[in-house]
Structure 1
Amino acid sequence: MIVKMKFLSITGPKSDIDRVAEKYLSKYEIQLENTLSELKTVQNLRPYVEINPYKNLLVKAKDYLNLIDQKETIKPASVTLEEAVKVIQRLDITVNDLKEKRQTLENEKAKYLDLLHKIEPFRELNYDVEKILDFKFIKYRFGKISREYFAKLERYVYDNLDTIFYKCHVDENYVWGVYFLPASQEEKIDAIFSSMHFERLFIPAEYSGTPDHAFQILEDEVNGVNAEIAKINQQISKEIDSSKTIIYTASEKLESLSRNFDVRKLAACTKNENPVFYIICGWMTERDADSFAMDIENDENVYCIIEDDHNNIFSSPPTKLNNPKIFKPFEMFLRMYGLPAYNEFDPTIFLAITYTFIFGCMFGDAGQGFLLFAGGALLYKLKKLDIAAIVSMAGIFSTIFGVLYGSLFGFEDIIPAIWLHPMKTYITLPVMGTLNTVLVLAVAFGMGLILVSMIINIINGIKQKNIEKIFFDTNGVAGLLFYASIVGSIVLIMTGNTLPGGVLLFIMFGIPLILIAFKEPITALIEKKAEAMPKEVGMYLVQTIFELFEIVLSYMTNTISFVRIGAFALSHAGMMEVVMTLAGVENGSSPNWPIFIIGNLVVMAMEGLIVGIHVLRLEYYEMFSRFFSGNGREFIPYSKQKQ
């Protein structure tokens, strides 16, 4: 069911808006609208523009709150907002100082790591790096060369060069080392090493001692810096943990104040009044609106106008669903299609009843149905999943129809069929001959659902005051009369009765089709619009003829679509016969229990999923499409909107 809404315009002195937001708007659920858009016909209004003073503090409080472990154990403190803000500001100064020190250490660590990375491949060089860097007559080149080119260097070139290559570290791809050369042959030897793809590395002058000794010193430096960083992190954690109660309180308080302050984004102010007044517009449920009106009755600084006539409002009323708890899980399926508009019929209960009933018809097995019921109920209790509740309720109807069909885990001789066996019951009809009873009943049931869907569409048309939708739509009164005439004629034929005379048949079929065909010009005449008929009459008539043919065809295909209800009932019985055959259940013999159990589980999982999807398809395409637009917008109270 859709909750009734009222539109409110709240006003008062500009300086009083925070009090109103804190005292009233946080207490009642209200969906705020943009006041300037709603009151665009009102003169001398301007946006309410102010900078939120709580925003930055809230961000800092939340940042600190995210650093606290076990937030669920924190209880709000009894401190004022001013005290909480002072704590956050003091904490911010202390933590920022510690973070600056930590950043300095991080930079120092990065420098040491860079030096460490550069000297590590040369640790096997047992000579003072500082002395090598001071060579004047002998040149040196630190670097790496691929193993492939190093082999070529040794085989073809090395013996003919006046150079010494000191090999240090070797890995899978490279040989790291340093080569020494006389200064007089610098260009020649460098060119040869370059042709061998030698990648030169420049060693800074910060090293002392051998590379291995320098590496160990740098490691000690890195470890020392890491220890200092760890101490600072501990200090930061200690500072935050010691104030966690106040941080939590401040975060909660600032979030509330920030949200209330942001009411200004949707509010407006008067221009020339003295004092200046704010105006806030929004939607409340009828119950909340009445309580709010009583609450502010003695508040001299708050004025409220409650608008009952929604035609005077620019925005459409939002939709808030309020269905009994047992039907609420089915709102999930409803939202998948769309939310009903405020002036539409809420089909949640209709969906719940028809979905579970049809599911039971198609999947009738007392044993498997009970397992679906129990499993869904247990999963819903543990996880609160809507789909689990739907499966559980569908399982109830599967169990009921399993009893009616006399089916228990595929056995059809343990419990007697109260109604019929789907595979064994047939009916003989005039013209049609002998047909399976379940298939015939499925089509008849579908006809009834289509008629009900048309009636709901007419109710929606009355709510929306849409003449065309009420009387001339394919799912309006004209369509209802036409389809009801088809249903009535089929019933007469199948029961062996004669059809009425030609004049009555024309009234039953011809007049509704004519009304449907010319619904637009007839509606225009009733509503006294200027142009009733389109200018190109011939083209309009041709188009209308094809549309009528499509409409009549759609009535037939929609009706036949419900055959799937009976078809799946037969399919389930057939699949269980296969399982029983594979399990060796013949002439009362004991079944092969592993095959029997696995077969039941496979059928229950596979067919349960397929049936669930096909029932949803029937709901959406054969019923919802007749009366449900699904273009409503959800009622979202301002306190729950994302800021």
Structure 2
Amino acid sequence: MKLNQVTLITPRSELGSVMEELYEFGFFHPAGEGERDPVLRELERRVDKNLVALELVIQELNIRAEAGVLEQLAGRRIAEQREFTADDINELLDRLDSEAGPLINELNNLLETRRRLREGLNSMYPILEGLKLVSGLNIDLNTLGRIRRFYVLLAVVQQREVAELRRSLTEAVVVEHPLQRGYSATLIIANIRDADRVDRIVKGLGVRPFDIPRDLPQNTSEAFKVFSGRVAEAENKLREVEDRLNTYTMREASKLLALRDAYKVLKEAVHRLAPTGMLKRFAVVKGYIPENLTEEFIRRFGSKYPVYSSHPRQLHHGHEHGGEGGETSKPPTLLSNKGIVKAFENITKVQGIPGYFEIDPTPFVAFFFAIFYGIMFADLGQGIIIFLFSLFMLKRTTGNLRLWAMLLAVLGVSSSIGGFMIGEAFGFKIGKTIPTPGILELVEVHNGTKQFNIAEVQKLLIFTILMGALHIVVGYVLSIVKLVKNGEALEAFTSKIPTLTMYLFGILFALAFFGAGGRMENIMTEDAPAPLIGLPTSLVGTVGIAGAIASIFALLFGKLAAGFAGLGPKVGFVSAIGQGLLEVLENIIHFLSNTISYARLAILLIVHIALLLLLNTAWEALGIVSLPILVVGNVGIILLEGMLVFIQALRLHLYEFFTKFYDGVGYEFRRIAEETPFARVIIGRR
């Protein structure tokens, strides 16, 4: 869709009300430059405060922002969209803050309590574990501490370390009592004179004395009993807090997501509008609007503020082109595809967004992608299954998944049409039941054995190669149109047009070659009709060879002749011939590899039919008993081969089509009044 660039000049004191009016207008893509307005910057800080707090709370509570594909198909929804309305931004922020503030405070308090309880329990569990190990010993540490004539130390060590202790402490007595999980309670008794030495050895071996916290009874059994109660109490408190948080999550998840998205939409709008030029007292607001809304924009803002409108224009080799007063810039792209074509925008976006001055290939993608898929996956029954599933998906899903569902519906219809044309459903012939054209009989029966009809397979290969040639030709034509639009007509006439004609005449040469039975010497003399077009092979061969040679000469000498005629920059003879020769050789390689690549259309259809033939032998052998096998097999083929066919159709577009003309370096038009699946913000009276 065509856009206009608009510039609006307003006193900075009125920038807030201008922003509200622009938000109410909706279709405005901010593209300001210069310093950020201090008032809007402060407003953004206010928005950001609660936005960050909400995002942290949502992250802590593990609230999911969207349901997965399978969950949506199962009917699960995260939340419904909520509408936030206000007359101005400050009023809206006051409402959001009054609603979000108490929620954030209460949830943060609960989260902080949970954090403290978890940290406390994490520090308590090791103590509890140690007390549990020695709880059966019933030892009073105070009693051990009152022994004055001996060095006494109680430690819990792994059983394999006890022997090392005994070897190291030859002058001490080491008493061992086995505990659970490979540990032992070890009592070390030594003469008080050897206390320092024993203490150094014990520490060197990494043995730590067993201590009971001072606020607990110093008897191991009693300490374990008291401390277990404390741990249980803390765990109960943690469960209560987590139950409250879970209740909040279930009850307030949709509200939290809606509030977060409302803040996010506001922040995005303020952030994008904040760059307002370098003037001290006036703000310069720049942006893009759809061309058909220009009059409404001027009528709405022109009576109060100076408004300037211009058409974006390109730079062509340093020369500006476009209407008077046009702006030289890189505008955003507002895609305007409708209906089923819009569903194929997802395919285009795989290669990037088309630039504003670039050709949008989506309509061509929609046409060829559907045809290619229908050829490779031609089956009436399975196509209907895909179509029905896409309708179910369309009903259950939201957002971008609905576009994928629409695309799937188109592919299902295309597969059904392909299957109807060849008279097959689930691999069975349906010509006797349903009247079908039966344009191809790929499978024939000889002596009760099914096998592929080689003649029909050859027809299919020829058809798919021709479809590929058409696809490639469209790509070359679009590349020529692109160059002419960009002011590079010389490049179009000296490179792309000769390349296109070389390819077309090369096709004629190939037809003549097959018409002459594969004998090069007969191409110019054979009177038999050439395949497909029915003209004499000699005529087709002569035209093909002459046209290809003329195209090669144009590639070799086109730029050189244009330079001599003053139509372009002068180039050296050797440079021009060398570059042209490289282009000719590159074209020949690309013509062959790109065209042959489309044979995959026929190959994948043959593979599809072969798989179904193999599967359907179960029906012929077992009859109705094989029905579960057929159902599972067909589902597997739809899932696996359906995906494989999709990938191959995508590959043909990415490598054989887009590479001819498409850059995909644009960026999308984004309204200042955006909305999300959870929040829709309305500012102003509507």
TM-score, normalisation: structure 2 = 0.74
Q: Which residue of 1 aligns with 2:522?
A: none
Q: Which residue of 2 aligns with 1:626?
A: 660
* Matched ranges for 1:184-203 at <5 A: 184-187=193-196, 189-190=198-199, 198-202=207-211
Whichever residue aligns with residue 403 of structure 1, its letter is: F
Give the 3-state SS of the residue equivalent to 1:436 in structure 2. helix
- Output the CA distance in 2 between the equivalents of 1:421 and 1:81: 67
Distance in structure 2 (CA, Å) of the matches to 1:241 and 1:401: 48
The residue that corresponds to 2:72 in the other structure is: none
Q: 1:270 matched to which residue of 2?
A: 279
Q: Deviations over 1:81-106 (max 9, x none)?
A: 55765787788889889998998888
The alignment partner of 2:175 has SS state of strand
TM-superposition CA deviations, 1:91-143 (whole Å, max 9, x none) = 88898899989988888777766765664443334343334334433322121
- Checking the alignment, whether the CA contact within 8 Å between 1:329 and 1:389 is kept in structure 2 is yes
- Residue in structure 2 matching 1:420, options 435, 439, 452: 439
Distance of aligned partners of 1:516 and 1:234 in 2 relative to their CA distance in 1, 3 Å threshold: same
Whichever residue aligns with residue 443 of structure 1, its letter is I
Which residue type is aligned with residue 379 of structure 1? M
Aligned equivalent of 1:208, options 212, 217, 222: 217
CA contact (8 A) 1:75 1:245 kept: no
Structure showing greater relative contact order (alpha-carbon pairs closer than 8 Å, 6 or more residues apart): 2
Which whole-Å CA distance do the structure 2 matches of 1:9 and 1:584 have between them? 74
TM (norm. structure 1) is: 0.78
CA spacing shift, 1:520–1:141, aligned 2, 3 Å: farther
Q: Residues 460 and 213 (structure 1 numbering): CA distance in 2 closer, same or farther, change over 3 Å?
A: same
Structure 1 residue 451: Cα displacement: 2.7
Residue 410 of structure 2 corresponds to which residue in structure 1?
Answer: 393
The C-alpha deviation readout for 1:466-507, integer Å capped at 9, x for no partner, is 21453233xx33233333333455377332525459997786
Alpha-carbon distance between aligned partners in 2 of 1:577 and 1:245, rounded to the nearest angstrom = 51
Residue of structure 2 in register with 1:43 after alignment: none
**1:138 alignment partner, one of 130, 137, 150:** 150
Task: State the match for 1:559 in structure 2.
Answer: 595
Does 2:290 correspond to 1:285? Answer: yes
Distance in structure 1 (CA, Å) of the matches to 2:107 and 2:635? 59
Tell me what 1:41 maps to: none
Change in CA separation of 1:120 and 1:74 when aligned onto 2, cut-off 3 Å = farther
Q: Which residue identity lines up with residue 179 of structure 2 in the other structure?
A: V
2:536 to 497, 500, 514: 497
Cα distance in 2 between the residues matched to 1:543 and 1:379:
53
1:321 and 1:236, CA in 2 relative to 1: closer, same or farther beyond 3 A? closer
Matches within 5 A, 1:363-442: 363-383=377-397, 385=401, 386-412=403-429, 414=432, 415=434, 417-423=436-442, 436-442=458-464
SS in 2 for 1:268: coil
| Partner SS state of residue 571, structure 2 | coil
Residue deviations 1:250-283 (CA, integer Å, cap 9, x gap): 8677556544443454322304xxxx00112222
Give the deviation of 1:241 after TM superposition.
Answer: 12
State the distance in 2 between where 1:87 and 1:423 align: 68
Distance 1:604 1:295 in 2: 54
Distance 1:187 1:370 in 2: 88
Cα offset, 1:328, TM superposition:
2.0
For residues 472 and 23 of structure 2, what CA distance do their matches in structure 1 show? 45
Moved more, 512-521 or 288-297: 512-521
Query: AA paired with 2:356?
Result: Y
Per-residue Cα deviation, 1:428-472 (whole angstroms, up to 9, x for no partner): xxxxx9983222233333333333333333332333222145323
Structure 2 CA distance for partners of 1:178 and 1:593, relative to 1, 3 Å: same
Q: CA separation in 2, counterparts of 1:245 and 1:410?
A: 48
Matches within 5 A, 1:564-583: 564-583=600-619
More deviation, 400-409/433-442: 433-442
Aligned counterparts of 2:630 and 2:106: Cα–Cα separation in 1? 70
Aligned: 1:126 with 2:131: no
Q: Is the 8 A contact 1:84 1:249 kept in 2?
A: no
Listed one character per residue, the Cα deviations across residues 196-240 of structure 1 (whole Å, up to 9, x for unaligned) are 774444555444341222333344445566677788999999999
Task: Please list, as runs of the form range in 1=range in 2, the aligned pairs for 1:434-583 lying within 5 A after superposition.
Answer: 436-473=458-495, 476-488=496-508, 490=511, 493-494=530-531, 495-497=534-536, 499=538, 508-518=547-557, 520-521=559-560, 531-534=569-572, 537-538=573-574, 541-583=577-619
User: Which residue is equivalent to 2:308?
Assistant: 305
Asked if 1 retains the 8 angstrom alpha-carbon contact of 2:506 and 2:545, the reply is: no
Q: Any residues of structure 2 matched to 1:311-330 within 5 Å, and which?
A: 311=314, 312-330=326-344
Are residues 185 and 579 of structure 1, via their aligned partners in 2, closer, same or farther at CA, if it must alter by over 3 Å? closer
Structure-2 separation of matches of 1:22 and 1:71: 27
Question: How many Å separate the matches in 1 of 2:251 and 2:168?
Answer: 70
Structure 2 match to 1:8: 6
Q: State the one-letter code of the partner of 2:571.
A: M
The worse-fitting range, judged by mean Cα deviation, of 9-18 and 261-270 is 261-270
C-alpha distance in 2 between matches for 1:424 and 1:87? 69
Whose Rg is larger? Answer: 1
Distance 1:248 1:600 in 2: 41
Work out whether residues 162 and 176 of structure 2, in 8 Å CA contact, stay in contact via their aligned partners in 1.
Answer: no
Q: Deviations over 1:516-572 (max 9, x none)?
A: 33455556667866x5214xx436534532331221332233333333333434444
2:188 pairs with 1:179: yes
Give the letter for the 2:554 counterpart.
Answer: L
Larger mean Cα displacement after TM superposition, 326-335 or 97-106 = 97-106
Corresponding residue of 1:42 = none
Equivalent residue number for residue 56 of structure 1: 49
Contact kept? 2:369, 2:649, Cα under 8 Å: yes
Paired with 1:236 and 1:368, the residues of 2 have a C-alpha distance of: 47
Question: What letter is aligned with 2:37?
Answer: Y
Alignment-derived partner of residue 343 in structure 1 = 357
Distance change (3 Å), C-alpha of 1:332 and 1:522: farther
- Of 370, 373, 391, 1:356 maps to 370
Give the distance between the partners of 1:465 and 1:613, measured in 2 at CA. Answer: 36
Counterpart-to-counterpart distance in 2, 1:552 and 1:469: 19
**For the residues of structure 2 that align with 1:73 and 1:607, how far apart are their CA atoms?**
37
The match for 2:26 is: 28
More displaced 10-residue stretch of structure 1: 13-22 or 92-101: 92-101
Q: C-alpha separation between the residues in 2 aligned to 1:10 and 1:591?
A: 75
Within 5 Å, give how 1:59-208 maps onto structure 2: 59-60=52-53, 81-82=93-94, 85=97, 116=128, 119-150=131-162, 163=173, 165=175, 167=177, 170-187=179-196, 189-190=198-199, 198-202=207-211, 205-208=214-217
Q: Secondary structure at the match of 2:425?
A: coil
- Counterpart contact for 2:134–2:179, Cα < 8 Å: no
Unaligned runs of 5+ in 2: 64-77, 315-325, 445-454, 513-528, 677-686
